[in-house]
Structure 1
Amino acid sequence: MAYQNPLAPVGKTNHRPRPRLVCRSPKGPSVRLHITCPNCESPAYGFRKRQLSTLVTELAYECRNPLCRASFVFQGEVTRWLTIPSNLNPQLNVPLSPIVQRRQQLDAINNLQTAVLPDIGEMITLERGSQIDIFSEQPEQ
């Protein structure tokens, strides 16, 4: 005799399958949000999405465990940029990820240019702009 799951619903149920929420990434394949039920820790599936603001989205989930069937709301918020958008919206107040900040600082340090110093004994003249002493007063022209 074939095994029958004792938790499986018998006969017709009024439970209809819901569409799954899938995150689509331009860098790779789709990624599912694997959310578990906070009550029984069984897998849950998303069935409703609501945009609360530009940065906050609310997702409704339902537990797949037939003995639990808890419904709950998951709230997701954009908290930091992992990569800086090419066309940044100035109205958004989203900080950079610490990793991105460090990368920008390292790029700035690597792009620093050192001053060209004259050879020993050579006079510094105003004709060579790279030799002008920035700490002394400049003559007015």
Structure 2
Amino acid sequence: MSTEKLVGRFVSEYSENMDAYLKETGCGTLVRKAVANTEMTINILNQGDQWSCFQEHTFKSPSVVFKLNEEFEQMTPERRMCKTMVTLTPEGKLVERQRKKEEYANDHTITRYLEDEDTLVVVYECGNVSAKRVFRRQKCMCTSDSINDKYI
């Protein structure tokens, strides 16, 4: 699969088991309820060997900028320091592995892939808990010279 198909703007449609996942990550009750039940948008961009995943959310707008197969230090939205590496599988899945740096934290894996051309699935795993959020590609009416051409 071409990595260009992963590039785009995606709006959340529904999620499964997010509350349990967020609880496993250490999020408090109020944050869990708000994050699990609020619409989110993900923007995935690729320029050369640099990738960016920006989330737009009512409470936080976390982002991660990376190069495939290069480990980097990351501060997560939950304020965890971790060593992160993102790889691309032969099936076209972006797999983000976050290894804990603190004793009290858990390792995380976030897998992003296209189920079909317009459906982005994000699977979150922490400890023995997994969750899934499904997004729909947001298409825009852009002119050919628009900066948003990547979202068409």
Q: Identify whether the pair has TM-score above 0.5, normalized to the shorter chain.
A: no
Counting helix residues as a fraction of each chain, which structure ranks higher? 2
- Select the structure of larger CA radius of gyration: 1
TM-score, normalised on structure 2? 0.28
Counting strand residues as a fraction of each chain, which structure ranks higher? 2
TM-score, normalised on structure 1? 0.29
